[in-house]
Structure 1
Amino acid sequence: MMKETKLIFEQSKTGRQAYSLPENDVEMYDLSAELPEHLSRKAAAELPEVSELQLMRHYTALANNNFGIETGFYPLGSCTMKYNPKVNEDIARLDGFANIHPLQNPETTQGALQLMYGLQEDLKQVTGMDEISLQPAAGAQGEWAGLLVFKAYHEQNGDGQTRKTILVPDSAHGTNPASAAVAGYDVVEIKSNENGTVGVEALKAALGPDTAGLMLTNPNTLGLFEVDIVEIAEIVHEAGGLLYYDGANANAILGKSTPGEMGFDVVHLNLHKSFSTPHGGGGPGSGPIGVKSFLSPFLPVPRIEKDGDHYLLNSDYPLSIGRVKGYFGNFGVNVRAYAYIRSMGAEGLQQVSEDAVLHANYLKARLTDYYDTPYKQHCKHEFVLSGLRQKKQGVRTLDIAKRLLDYGFYAPTVYFPLIVEECLMIEPTETESKEMLDEFADAMITIAKEVEEQPEVLHEAPISKAVRRLDEVTAARKPKVIYQR
């Protein structure tokens, strides 16, 4: 029987303490005197009163219940949840990186500026772009910043008032239409063709004098490479639009191709995905954007530049979209990404993509007899399955995902992309071993057989966890985050 763990508030006893300190005999400055009256606390915070041992057991229990990449396989499609090498953590914690302040005089932070400049240069090669800004804090903010560059460019050309539409494929990441809307654009959806890629004829029909640009992920969220990308770039440019590359799936093309070679004008990268820095749970992230030279004047400021052996911050760009984040981006994440790129080297990054694509195709081949595969061609770094076969027997994709928890695996992305009914989206990444891939495939095959023989088990899953099924919609929309006695 699983032992019930009491909440830390339920363990609280009045007067119990987790510390023992002598009385303070140093006169302290009363900071509360600086606060406005309406911000001053009128009563002590209602914190739990527990011993040090209780406190440690509380946090240890929380850690043991958590699932992360060091805990097990994390095949979360589109998210590239790969292992984060710990040497990069050590490097990010070096005094010269961890203990500097963004308001220091640049003369005293030359090492940090040199690192960021070097990262910019490396990302130019990775993306095929001419200039890079490290400022955006995450992928979605990178999208928004890139679209502001679109807008500034069109306004500079005198047609900012007419080019009001961004084209987005129906298989796009959800942040694409959201970012376009936040940037002030109207969004037009482009239907995929029978192969799961952008329908060129549908794209041609949607292009017009109101088109500001096309947002595209290549390979797309189905894990499929847009084989018509050169033609797509040509027809968008002929219509006066720009091309935006969502770099969330860059793990599939490192060292093999670049957005610049494909014809894109703006790209964002998720350093916390492709370049292996910790992410999830709300951050931190880093979403640098790169642009072709004709868009360089519009990049965010300040720009990190090199003058001889000296590094400086330059804000003298009158056409810039301005600052999009405080200071210069998420520096610690950038340090980790730089260390990763430098340790891997060009050949290592290419091997990353080769292994990621190999792993995805291997898993797809092992599972194709047990689940529907809507798209038969070779995939890139991720692939989609459909649970339609299981749905006919009364088992939904959500049931399959919950059952995977009982087998010790984090569930894949489900019900996305929306164009695949009962979708499971699986990305194994390059960091998993063949043994782990086989364990996952065996679990998925076992679950498919359970659907045939005892589907009621899946309806109850997970059956081995402290928390069973929740009303997820209510939990998301009306979370209870405050303990109430």
Structure 2
Amino acid sequence: MKRIVRDHKVRNFHQAKWDEPIIFELHKPGERGVEVPQAEAAIESTVGDGISRIPDGMKRTTPPALPEIGQAKVLRHYLRLSQETMGSDFNVEIGQGTCTMKYIPRVNEMMIRTPKIMDLHPLQDVSNSQGILEVFYKLDLAMREISGLDKFTFQPSSGTQALLAMASIVRAFHDSRGEGEQRNEIITTIFSHPSQAATAVVKGYKIITLYPDADGFPNIEELKKVISSRTAGFVVANPEDTGIYNPRIKEFTDLVHEAGGICYYDQANANGLLGVTRAKEAGFDMCFFNLHKTFAAPHMCGGPATGALGVVDTLIPFLPGPIVEYDGTSYDLKEVGDLSIGKVRSFHGVAQTVLRSYAWVRSLGAEGLRQVAHTAVLNNNYLYHKILKIRGASAPYVKGNRLEQVRYSWEQMTQETGVTTEDVTRRMCDFGLHYWTSHHPYVVPQPFTLEPTESYSKEDLDEYINALQQISDEAYSNPEIVKNAPTRSTVHRIEDSSFDDPEKWCITWRAYLKKTTPGE
């Protein structure tokens, strides 16, 4: 059989379109998927009907407003939605920059679906939870080696929640020393994730923001000017969201420590650093890793995620509890003590996510983790040098190698053609590819942020590069093609004015009905 060779450089893609209603609109009163059987007489005579013993105050006065729908319709509904969705299992997902979208080993997914994991409950007695507690403890040990820090908790359910926990620890630490009122400032950088400033504000801190020097590095001279006896802490990502790594970071943390502040490290994306640099040697007192990024657990549409939070010895008493300890014979859940910031969420972490990451770390070992970093950096720099050859694209600030990602700019192309980065976002959908711009506000003009990780081949990267090249060619030859995109996607354009109008927000079906049904 003659092999067919594809001669075009971009994928001939067309998104499935079903005009699928939301599941509440498929509701048909009286329709059922499963009839729940009534309790048999022998069972009811022994334990009751299962309802009458429930206190009246815990019973609903009206049934829940759930959609009534048959099994076949439910199956079709969700399969159709899945065909209208792009994700890391469907396309070259290097465009979700800063989120470290990598391949999730399917053997790990099979493992977390065994009854031994699926039937676990966090309220089980520790005597019959030894296996999963051992996994928690041993992943803690691995994280200590990777970071150089002394103890980890897996309680935070996200990177932002880990940042909130770290800001809480900063507050509790200074309060314990009688300096809580005096030390009311947190220093961060403009290219770090917005959650760093936001979580510190939640804890009542004033934010001091460092802007970059001409090469894009945080300005150390500006840091020297703002450090004072009011400094509570310094929080930074390194590399920042531009992909620029600050090689002088130890000078920054030393200056903050001299002033009595605590340094904490956003390592949500540590994919380019594994086995190469550690938080300890950079002078940080705390750091967190997103297991759902660097450590090959899925994002799961925002959950269940885990922001693994590590601290140095002096801050262990402030950790949220409980944490897993081992006495040489058995594993146990221990509360930290009176200085603890308290829980930042229920229980002590998502067991399935922790198990996935533990399996990934054990399968790779120390050398494998280091190879992840080397490959991710290699892939990123290949992409970097190719994209800089595309007309209208640039990468502001320091020239040369970047780490695991880059925040690029279409500023030149926008000035010359009128095509914006949002236009490119929609046009990429026509090639079955995802593309992310940046956090708001846009500090880099007309941004787009790419992170290829270690999972993608040269062929994958070339497909993505070819799509960007074609869009650039279209922008300069016939810009209306790009401006009117997408033409082969599920939704042509999104009317997004409601995003900034709370009166139009409808987070739930009930909220939607209240805002759209007259008289409600």
TM-score for the superposition, normalised by structure 1: 0.93
Give the counterpart letter for 1:145 in structure 2: A
Over 3 Å counting, the alpha-carbon distance change for 1:96 and 1:58 in structure 2 is: closer
Taking the aligned partners of 1:46 and 1:93, their CA distance within structure 2 comes to: 27
1:19-52 per-residue CA deviation (whole Å, 9 max, x = no partner) reads 57888765672638736579634467462445x4
8 Å Cα contact 1:414-1:425 kept in structure 2: yes
Give the counterpart letter for 2:462 in structure 1: D
Cα drift, residue 104 of structure 1: 1.9
Taking the aligned partners of 1:299 and 1:365, their CA distance within structure 2 comes to: 43
Cα drift, residue 479 of structure 1: 4.3
| 1:67 counterpart residue number | 86
8 Å Cα contact 1:218-1:249 kept in structure 2: no
Taking the aligned partners of 1:123 and 1:267, their CA distance within structure 2 comes to: 10
1:203-230 per-residue CA deviation (whole Å, 9 max, x = no partner) reads 1111111001110111111101111112
Over 3 Å counting, the alpha-carbon distance change for 1:342 and 1:43 in structure 2 is: closer
Mean Cα displacement is larger for which, 309-318 or 19-28?
A: 19-28
What pairs up with 1:17-56 in 2 under 5 angstroms?
17-18=32-33, 26=41, 29=49, 31=51, 34=54, 36=56, 40-42=60-62, 45=65, 47-50=67-70, 52-56=71-75
| 2:199 counterpart residue number | 179
Matched, 1:380 2:399: no
Structure 2 residue matching 1:432: 3-state secondary structure: coil
Cα drift, residue 237 of structure 1: 1.0
Matched, 1:260 2:297: no
Over 3 Å counting, the alpha-carbon distance change for 1:345 and 1:394 in structure 2 is: same
Mean Cα displacement is larger for which, 175-184 or 472-481?
A: 472-481
Structure 2 residue matching 1:312: 3-state secondary structure: strand
1:116-135 per-residue CA deviation (whole Å, 9 max, x = no partner) reads 11010000011110111222
Mean Cα displacement is larger for which, 464-473 or 378-387?
A: 464-473
Cα drift, residue 419 of structure 1: 2.0
Cα drift, residue 5 of structure 1: 3.9
The structure 1 residue matched to 2:180, chosen from 142, 160, 165, is 160
8 Å Cα contact 2:325-2:332 kept in structure 1: yes
Taking the aligned partners of 2:411 and 2:490, their CA distance within structure 1 comes to: 29
| 2:450 counterpart residue number | 426
Structure 1 residue matching 2:465: 3-state secondary structure: helix
8 Å Cα contact 2:406-2:451 kept in structure 1: yes
Cα drift, residue 318 of structure 1: 2.5
Structure 2 residue matching 1:272: 3-state secondary structure: coil
The structure 2 residue matched to 1:447, chosen from 471, 475, 486, is 471
Taking the aligned partners of 1:285 and 1:459, their CA distance within structure 2 comes to: 36
Mean Cα displacement is larger for which, 395-404 or 97-106?
A: 97-106
Over 3 Å counting, the alpha-carbon distance change for 1:24 and 1:162 in structure 2 is: closer
8 Å Cα contact 1:139-1:248 kept in structure 2: yes
| 1:110 counterpart residue number | 130
Unaligned runs of 5+ in 1: none
Taking the aligned partners of 1:424 and 1:116, their CA distance within structure 2 comes to: 37
| 1:281 counterpart residue number | 301
The structure 2 residue matched to 1:57, chosen from 58, 71, 76, is 76
8 Å Cα contact 1:367-1:441 kept in structure 2: yes
Matched, 1:122 2:145: no
1:151-202 per-residue CA deviation (whole Å, 9 max, x = no partner) reads 2221222211101100010111011011111122111111111111110001
1:52-78 per-residue CA deviation (whole Å, 9 max, x = no partner) reads 433322221111112221111222111
Over 3 Å counting, the alpha-carbon distance change for 1:33 and 1:396 in structure 2 is: farther
Mean Cα displacement is larger for which, 411-420 or 261-270?
A: 411-420
Taking the aligned partners of 2:39 and 2:151, their CA distance within structure 1 comes to: 55
Identity %: 35
Taking the aligned partners of 1:17 and 1:127, their CA distance within structure 2 comes to: 52
Taking the aligned partners of 2:156 and 2:211, their CA distance within structure 1 comes to: 30
TM-score for the superposition, normalised by structure 2: 0.87
Structure 1 residue matching 2:271: 3-state secondary structure: helix
8 Å Cα contact 1:297-1:320 kept in structure 2: yes
Taking the aligned partners of 1:291 and 1:43, their CA distance within structure 2 comes to: 47
Over 3 Å counting, the alpha-carbon distance change for 1:316 and 1:411 in structure 2 is: closer
Give the counterpart letter for 1:391 in structure 2: T
Over 3 Å counting, the alpha-carbon distance change for 1:274 and 1:318 in structure 2 is: same
Structure 1 residue matching 2:292: 3-state secondary structure: helix
Unaligned runs of 5+ in 2: 1-13
1:415-467 per-residue CA deviation (whole Å, 9 max, x = no partner) reads 55732111111111110111110000000011011110111111111111121
Over 3 Å counting, the alpha-carbon distance change for 1:313 and 1:47 in structure 2 is: closer
Taking the aligned partners of 1:125 and 1:38, their CA distance within structure 2 comes to: 48
CA RMSD of superposed structures (Å): 2.4
Cα drift, residue 321 of structure 1: 1.7
Over 3 Å counting, the alpha-carbon distance change for 1:112 and 1:240 in structure 2 is: same
Taking the aligned partners of 1:93 and 1:436, their CA distance within structure 2 comes to: 30
Taking the aligned partners of 2:334 and 2:38, their CA distance within structure 1 comes to: 51
Matched, 1:310 2:330: yes
Taking the aligned partners of 2:313 and 2:226, their CA distance within structure 1 comes to: 27
The structure 2 residue matched to 1:369, chosen from 389, 403, 428, is 389
| 2:9 counterpart residue number | none
Mean Cα displacement is larger for which, 343-352 or 84-93?
A: 84-93
Count of matched residue pairs: 484
Structure 1 residue matching 2:383: 3-state secondary structure: helix
Matched, 1:212 2:232: yes
Structure 2 residue matching 1:34: 3-state secondary structure: coil
1:262-292 per-residue CA deviation (whole Å, 9 max, x = no partner) reads 1111101101101010114221110121111
Taking the aligned partners of 1:56 and 1:400, their CA distance within structure 2 comes to: 34
The structure 2 residue matched to 1:301, chosen from 321, 336, 349, is 321
Matched, 1:138 2:162: no
Structure 2 residue matching 1:261: 3-state secondary structure: coil
| 2:347 counterpart residue number | 327
| 2:362 counterpart residue number | 342
Mean Cα displacement is larger for which, 41-50 or 310-319?
A: 41-50
| 1:459 counterpart residue number | 483
Over 3 Å counting, the alpha-carbon distance change for 1:437 and 1:105 in structure 2 is: same
What pairs up with 1:215-230 in 2 under 5 angstroms?
215-230=235-250
Cα drift, residue 366 of structure 1: 0.7
Cα drift, residue 238 of structure 1: 1.1
Structure 2 residue matching 1:77: 3-state secondary structure: coil
Structure 2 residue matching 1:385: 3-state secondary structure: strand
Taking the aligned partners of 1:419 and 1:225, their CA distance within structure 2 comes to: 17
Over 3 Å counting, the alpha-carbon distance change for 1:415 and 1:137 in structure 2 is: closer
8 Å Cα contact 2:190-2:209 kept in structure 1: yes
Over 3 Å counting, the alpha-carbon distance change for 1:6 and 1:294 in structure 2 is: closer
8 Å Cα contact 1:416-1:424 kept in structure 2: no
